[in-house]
Structure 1
Amino acid sequence: MTSAGDDKFTFIEGVKNPHSCTVLIQGSTDHAIAQMKDAIKDGLRATQNCVEDEAIVPGAGAFEIAAHVHLEQFKRTVEGKPRLGVEIFAKALLVVPKTLLENSGLDVQDKLLRVLADRENKHRVVGVSVASGDPIDPAIEGIYDNFLVKKQMLGLAPVLAEQLLLVDEVIRAGKSMKSDGGMQG
């Protein structure tokens, strides 16, 4: 019998072939407990994806940075309008490292340019440090993303962009906003 606060718990340990476990969560508020539960579920889902995929990719925006650099090189081999599409898709991939930098309160443009230059000059896997914004090797830092998540991202991004382009009318607050700028009710 072990105490945790006012509650008493019985822990069964040393089971030779366990197939389940219980995670004890304590927090000062219901909100804090809910956040911990979400974090645990996210971690378990990421672990499940990793086991099922049998693959991971470098995190910290490294996948997106590498894909951006590759598409920028590929763009040189494409002519006409498709070239613009490749360029736009390459730029769109940088949203992930930009968001990491912005959420860290860092100078996004300055730090991103430094990271891209490091990637292009040293031809190595590079991600962004959320602490400093400097280039890092995510594998050394132990930062990885799920392969399945990146695969789904690459598959869904063009589909969502196409769907947005097909929108011919925006409905806002119960009113229709036509392209002529007038509102109709």
Structure 2
Amino acid sequence: MLSKEGILALRRAKRRNMERLMLACGGEAVNSTDNLTPEMLGEAGLVHEHTIGDDTYTFVEDAKMGHSCTLLIKGPNDHTIAQIKDAVRDGLRAVKNALDASVVTAGAGAFEVALYNHLMKYADEVKGKTKVGVRAFAEAMLVIPKTLAENSGLDVQQSLIMLQEASTAARAVGKWAGLRLDNGDVLDPVAEGILDNFLVKKNLIDSAGEIVAQLLMVDEIMKAGRRGAGGPPPQ
């Protein structure tokens, strides 16, 4: 019936695809044409079939609602497609986390260097063994700027010293100081649009303290030898 009227119809559509069509085009999902009204119909600018490889896909373009979409990823092999897919997923998750938190942090190692300077000042205010722990935690924060400098072929020590001095001056006026990877200079990451995810940073810092506490609670490590290695079997 639909074919005679020049209407494209799809058979055996998955339920999930029907839900996506409603989000993209509007309308309602119905099981029959009985009592069908114009208000139940969705709208799209173009619907066509396209063959990619051995599979045929139906493209619904210029949808009215636009609350759902599908990304078509092409590549020369499965490995490249998997890498692109992971990159797209990571990017979408980063955007989602930023929207959920409604806040971001400065990138380019600026946050870690500023936190290092803050913790080192705080270490001078505490006494006893706590001072050692605070300083160790502060030194751990420099791993990211060290890695950025090393991967960029820069002098790690020179870059850290320059960043620490620049960060102290920048934070005094409410700004940030990060590392420019192409020439090793200092930049303002917020002005350059280099930002990090707040939720990721928060979870990393929270997890670091918990992991360290668990490791310090370990009293003894037992390692069993392999059978047939010439020694006695493990007890």
Secondary structure of the residue aligned to 2:117 is: helix
Q: CA deviation at 1:129?
A: 2.1
Q: Which stretch shifts more, 126-135 or 95-104?
A: 126-135
Corresponding position: 1:160 with 2:219: no
- The answer for the alignment partner of 2:221 in structure 1 is 169
Match of 1:28 among 72, 76, 85: 76
When structure 1 is superposed on structure 2, of 11-20 and 136-145 the one drifting more is: 11-20
Segments of structure 2 that go 5 or more residues without pairing to the other structure are 1-47
Structure 1 residue 69, shift from structure 2 partner? 1.0
Residues 174, 59 of structure 1: CA spacing in aligned structure 2 closer, same or farther, 3 A cutoff?
Answer: farther
In structure 2, how many angstroms separate the alpha carbons of the residues matched to 1:5 and 1:103?
39
- How many residue pairs match? The answer is 178
SS at match of 2:167: helix
Q: Return the match for 1:88 from 133, 136, 150.
A: 136
Q: Which residue of 168, 176, 184 maps to 1:120?
A: 168
CA distance in 2 between counterparts of 1:37 and 1:15 reads: 24
Q: What letter is aligned with 2:196? A: D
- Secondary structure of residue in 2 paired with 1:100: helix
Mark the CA change 1:84 to 1:27 in structure 2 (over 3 Å): closer, same or farther.
same
Structure 2 Cα separation of the partners of residues 9 and 104 of structure 1:
44
Report the TM-score, using the length of structure 2 for normalisation. Answer: 0.66
Change (3 A) 1:142 1:122: closer
1:76 aligns with 2:155: no
**Residue 107 of structure 1: CA displacement?**
2.0
Mean CA deviation greater in 8-17 or 148-157: 8-17
Higher helix share: 1
Q: Which amino acid aligns with 1:133?
A: G
Change (3 A) 1:122 1:18: closer
Distance 2:161 2:95 in 1: 32
SS at match of 1:14: strand
Quick one: distance in 1 between partners of 2:200 and 2:87? Answer: 17
Considering only aligned residues, what root-mean-square deviation do their CA atoms show, in Å?
2.7
> 1:166: Cα distance to partner?
2.9
Amino acid corresponding to residue 214 of structure 2 in structure 1: Q
- Residues 26-64 of structure 1 deviation map (CA, whole Å, 9 limit, x = unaligned): 222222111111110000000110111111111111111
| Equivalent residue number for residue 158 of structure 2 | 110
Range with bigger deviation, 35-44 or 9-18 = 9-18
Equivalent in 131, 140, 143 of residue 182 of structure 2: 131
Aligned residue in 1 for 2:62: 14
Cα pair distance change 1:11/1:142, threshold 3 Å? farther
Question: Could you tell me how far apart the structure 2 residues matched to 1:17 and 1:34 are?
Answer: 29
**What displacement does 1:5 show?**
8.1
Q: Larger relative contact order (C-alpha < 8 A, sep ≥ 6)?
A: 1
